[in-house]
Copies of this chain bind each other. A is one copy, B any other.
Amino acid sequence: MVDPMSPTPLYVQVADLLAAEIKSGGIASGAAIPSESRLQQEHGVSRGTARRAVALLVERGLVVTVPQRGTYVKPA
């Protein structure tokens, strides 16, 4: 769960949760991660925050976003 008391920005927390889920295999290579709207609901954040979280994963090279399709876990 995200922690409002943490000094870590919410979008970083969401990104870290997703990264952990990817690393553990909870989301397989090539599979889509939850949509922005799903991330909103699951973590109780705004869409802007969800978007930033995904953008962070893209920066880290963990996922690739395909316009009008979704965001997918990169193959190792």
Contacts from A to B (Cβ < 8 Å): 4-7, 30, 32, 64, 66-67, 69-70, 72
Report how far A66 CA is from B64 CA in the complex, Å.
32
Closest to A72 in B: B5
Can you give 11 contacting A-B residue pairs, CB < 8 Å? A4-B30, A4-B69, A4-B70, A4-B72, A5-B30, A5-B64, A5-B72, A6-B66, A7-B66, A7-B67, A7-B69
User: Chain B residues near A69 (CB, 8 Å)?
Assistant: 4, 7
Q: Name the residue among A6, A7, A67, A70 with the largest chain B CB count within 10 angstroms.
A: A7
Report how far A5 CA is from B73 CA in the complex, Å.
9
Closest to A30 in B: B5
